[in-house]
Amino acid sequence: MTTSFRLPDLGEGVHEAEILALPVVIGQAVREGDIIMAIETDKAAVEIPSPFTGAVREILVKVGDMARVGDVLMTFSPEATAGNVRPPERRGADSKAAPQEPKQGPHPPEQKGRPVPASPSTRRLARERGVDLHDVRPTGPGGIVTREDVAHHAEKKKAAEPAELAKPLPPQVKETPQAPQSRQTSDSGAPRPPQPEHEARMLPDFSKWGEIERLPFRSIRRATARQMSRSWAEIPHVLCQDDVDITRLEAFRQRHRSDMEAAGGKLTMTIFAMKAVATALKNYPSFNASLDLQAQQIIIKRYFNLGIAVDTENGLMVPVIRDVDRKSIKELAVELTSATTRVRSGMHSPEEMQGGTFTITNTGPLGGSHFSAIINHPEVAILGLGQGRMRPAVVTDEGGRHEIVPRLLMPIVLCFDHRVVDGADALRFLRLVIDALEDPDELLITMI
């Protein structure tokens, strides 16, 4: 009798995962809770524990495969033989055990079947450079392989190749082979062909005109493309934009920035925008909604969880800050700083990327001006912030006189789903946000 282990449901909007590591072998005894594989989704890299106690009978995937939720990945026999001597690698260390010194050389042969400690971005770089992490000398704390270790190993490997291998290959074989297709299985265990995401179109042979490189299109990058394509194809985007005079708000931010940093947070314009948006969403709940076409209903959410777009080396990530309306500016600054650090280091959990009701993207730190943002489906709106710049502006004093003065102006854009929201309400929503950001006292008073 055997028991099948299938890729479990990985949470909201996650349907597939890439196999990063397989620390077990056929015939190996495992206990319930032992780590049997590491996977990476478009949300995060996670380790999967065994739900069974027994012996591994079949392993139906290999490192690099893409698997979908419900696919059979392994089978287990309930009996575990005494001849199995190597347990799966465990992440946690016994508190009574003596600390281990970091490895000073490549991982020994007996470690070849086990996953190498490395971040998701390091693993991706190793795959792109064709490097086996087991062969890399780790320099990180606790024997962790870093991106620099991989790059250094790849350069040494390239320098050691014979001269004839370094010559350019003919165009017909110069391209790196495509990544292996995932082994999809039916309920009977028989392989089934992978499901295409969209109709493939033939491209010209670019290698005819010069050197090219092929990189795997997977994980976060592929998930981002799929999400953006769906959003753009399904949602009729409309945008309204304006400039915000943040001169007073910037002065307020500078006065309190050091206090916020001492508390472990960063006082950015995004933090103020989060509070302004939470107030606007309570006044205009149709922006805090999703459209259920199947049920022909608009779902209004009575909670205010804001997704914040974060630029990482692995691509765009959107951690969700929950209950923004109930948290102070200081609490939001600390929480967003912590969330940003986790997603950039790959240490976030899938749950941190779920449950958003509205998204804010701030391109200001990169120098962006006016732009059009794409709505994060199934949300119905997104707010974009550009870089604040000193520009001449016409101001009116209490006596009605006009004068041109330098002011710090920040571009702001609201993109919305015209099936759910009308343009007039979009302008009112944006006006409320602008008024709050232009006047710190107004922002504090109107916070609900």
Q: What are the structural domain ranges in the chain?
A: 235-446
Dist CA 225 CA 358 (whole Å): 19
pLDDT in tens, 99-123: 344 444 565 554 554 556 676 667 7
- In CATH, the number for domain 235-446 is 3.30.559.10
Higher pLDDT, 331 or 137: 331
Higher pLDDT, 260 or 198: 260
| Model confidence at 160: pLDDT above 80 | no
For 174, 207, 228, 307, 379, the CA distances from 421, given in Å and listed in that order, are 51, 47, 20, 19, 12
Dist CA 324 CA 335 (whole Å): 10
Name beta bridge partners: 407. Answer: 391
The rounded mean pLDDT for the chain is: 81
Closest CA to 412 of 282, 290, 280, 270: 270
Mean predicted confidence (pLDDT) in 348-353: 87
Least confidently predicted of 209-218, 242-251, 329-338:
209-218
Q: What is the pLDDT of residue 104?
A: 46
Question: 89-93, 104-108, 273-277, 342-346 — which one is most confidently predicted on average?
Answer: 273-277
10 Å Cβ neighbour count for 6?
Answer: 16
For 5, 65, 127, the CA distances from 179, given in Å and listed in that order, are 24, 8, 10
| Model confidence at 281: pLDDT above 50 | yes
Q: What is the pLDDT of residue 275?
A: 96
Dist CA 122 CA 133 (whole Å): 9
Closest CA to 359 of 404, 431, 416: 416
Report whether 412 contacts 388 (CB < 8 A).
no
DSSP state of 353: G
Structure token digits, residue 282 = 């309570």
| Model confidence at 25: pLDDT above 80 | yes
The one-letter amino acid code at 315 reads G
pLDDT band per the 50, 70, 90 thresholds, residue 430: very high
Q: What is the pLDDT of residue 195?
A: 46
Least confidently predicted of 51-65, 133-147, 277-291, 348-362:
133-147
Q: What is the pLDDT of residue 162?
A: 56
pLDDT in tens, 290-301: 999 999 999 999
Active site residue 107: no
Question: Judging by beta carbons within 10 Å of its beta carbon (0-12, 13-18, 19+), is residue 348 exposed, middle or buried?
Answer: buried
| Model confidence at 302: pLDDT above 50 | yes
Residues across the chain: 448
Report whether 440 contacts 252 (CB < 8 A).
yes
Give the H/E segment covering residue 139.
Answer: none
State if pTM tops 0.75.
no
What are the phi and psi torsion angles at 166 (to 5°)?
Answer: -85, -10
Dist CA 241 CA 429 (whole Å): 11
pLDDT band per the 50, 70, 90 thresholds, residue 174: very low
The one-letter amino acid code at 342 reads R
C-alpha triplet 280, 283, 285: angle, nearest 5°: 90
| Model confidence at 415: pLDDT above 80 | yes
pLDDT band per the 50, 70, 90 thresholds, residue 12: low
| Model confidence at 232: pLDDT above 80 | yes
Structure token digits, residue 442 = 């107004």
Give the dihedral sign, CA 50/51/55/61.
negative
DSSP secondary structure of 141-157: GGGPBPHHHHHHHHHHH
Q: What is the pLDDT of residue 98?
A: 38
For 119, 247, 302, 333, the CA distances from 253, given in Å and listed in that order, are 34, 10, 30, 12
Which of the residues 134, 198, 256, 418 is marked catalytic?
A: 418
Q: What is the pLDDT of residue 17?
A: 85
pLDDT in tens, 322-338: 999 999 999 999 999 99
What are the phi and psi torsion angles at 61 (to 5°)?
Answer: -130, 170
Mean predicted confidence (pLDDT) in 44-65: 86
Pair type for strands 310-312 and 358-362 = unpaired
| Model confidence at 178: pLDDT above 60 | no
Token pair 């297709």 is found at 181
For 119, 309, 411, the CA distances from 246, given in Å and listed in that order, are 39, 21, 10
Closest CA to 371 of 395, 351, 354, 387: 387
Mean predicted confidence (pLDDT) in 48-65: 89
Structure token digits, residue 3 = 């028991």
Higher pLDDT, 212 or 14: 212
C-alpha triplet 411, 416, 419: angle, nearest 5°: 160
